[in-house]
Amino acid sequence: VAMAATRSVMRAVRVFEFGGPEVLKLQSDVLVPVPKENQVLIKVHACGVNPVETYIRSGTYARKPALPYTPGSDVAGVIESVGEHVTAFKKGDRVFTLETVSGGYAEYAVAAANRVFPLPDKLDFRQGAAIGVPYFTAYRALFQKGCAKAGESVLVHGASGGVGLAACQIARACGLKVLGTAGTEEGMNVILRNGAHQAFNHRDPNYTERIKACTGPGGVDIIIEMLSNINLDADLQLLSCAGRVMVVGCRGRIEINPRDTMSKESSIIGVSLFLATEEERHECATAVLDGIEAGWLKPIVGLEYPLEKVAKAHEDIICSSGARGKMVLLL
């Protein structure tokens, strides 16, 4: 009996109130969740950290979870047990998730079986934790919302983070001309190694002029925008006729002149993976798993943190100068 009792608790990060990174509390007596029907329990080896998790934690995001909650959606690990009616997975399978039910910043996480995917042996758990949100979001932004076609050009504005590198790899594999920006020399090199034909430093005051020189008078067809509150006005000047800006990330307000969209019949389109239909998620999953199989989908892992340093991770993902790959928590 004692054995069963000791196995039923775990370490997990809990948020009891919305606020700064300091509201992330690591607790060691959280009950291990039990998978219900059509759910699986995963022993977590790594969990991705996404900017959206910091917005949710701060209480400023449109979606507010009921308190207390455990953040985190992209986990990679091993199936510990499965609920009723689950046939796709069994104990011991290596998997990654798109989202979890119980929260990913924990030693164990429950997820719906249809949000869980096999993790091939060629990728480690750190890479597995870098797939879900970034690659599904990038695919959705490019194709489901951006209607990208081979031969078009795409500017990934903020290309060295998780979603940015995913967008570079996917766009390159699908025949687009890929331009990317980063804030450091190292970031620019990472972009060039991961699908971008050309890289620009967005800390250079004249970088938009350099992009214009590169695209010529035609402009760029699609912009994948990670920081629209800073860049949206400039993006509208860079677009081609019928060009579109895909708003993937935003941290505040910005003033634009709507006339800039009229002169080119351009579009500003918001992207939210949360709103994807079942069919759309299935399409994303198929593209992602095909990319892993083909070998062009290679998640780049950036900074790694133990669970104890989760507050630092939340601080760094917003404040650090220049991302390089996907930030992960290691368990």
Closest CA relative to residue 133, chosen from 111, 154, 161, 162: 162
What are the structural domains, with CATH classification, of the chain?
A: 9-130+299-330 (3.90.180.10), 134-274 (3.40.50.720)
> Secondary structure of the chain: what % helix, strand, coil (to 5)?
35, 30, 35
In angstroms, rounded to a whole number, what is the distance separating the alpha carbons of residues 168 and 290?
Answer: 16
Query: Looking at residue 81, what is its pLDDT?
Result: 98
Query: Looking at residue 194, what is its pLDDT?
Result: 97
Closest CA relative to residue 20, chosen from 58, 66, 71: 58
CA-CA-CA-CA torsion sign (283, 288, 291, 296):
positive
Closest CA relative to residue 172, chosen from 193, 190, 141: 193
In angstroms, rounded to a whole number, what is the distance separating the alpha carbons of residues 246 and 270?
Answer: 6
| Per-residue model confidence as pLDDT tens for the chain (331 residues) | 445 545 699 999 999 999 999 999 999 999 999 999 999 999 999 999 999 999 999 999 888 999 999 999 999 999 999 999 999 999 999 999 999 999 999 999 999 999 999 999 999 999 999 999 999 999 999 999 999 999 999 999 999 999 999 999 999 999 999 999 999 999 999 999 999 999 999 999 999 999 999 999 999 999 999 999 999 999 999 999 999 999 999 999 999 999 999 999 999 999 999 999 999 999 999 999 999 999 999 999 999 999 999 999 999 998 877 778 999 999 9
Burial status of residue 278 (CB atoms within 10 A of its CB: 0-12, 13-18, 19 or more): exposed
Query: Looking at residue 2, what is its pLDDT?
Result: 47
Burial status of residue 27 (CB atoms within 10 A of its CB: 0-12, 13-18, 19 or more): middle
Tell me the pLDDT tens digit for each residue of 120-157: 999 999 999 999 999 999 999 999 999 999 999 999 99
pTM: predicted TM-score of the whole model, two decimal places = 0.94
Query: Looking at residue 324, what is its pLDDT?
Result: 86
The first and second tokens of residue 244, run together, are: 């579109």
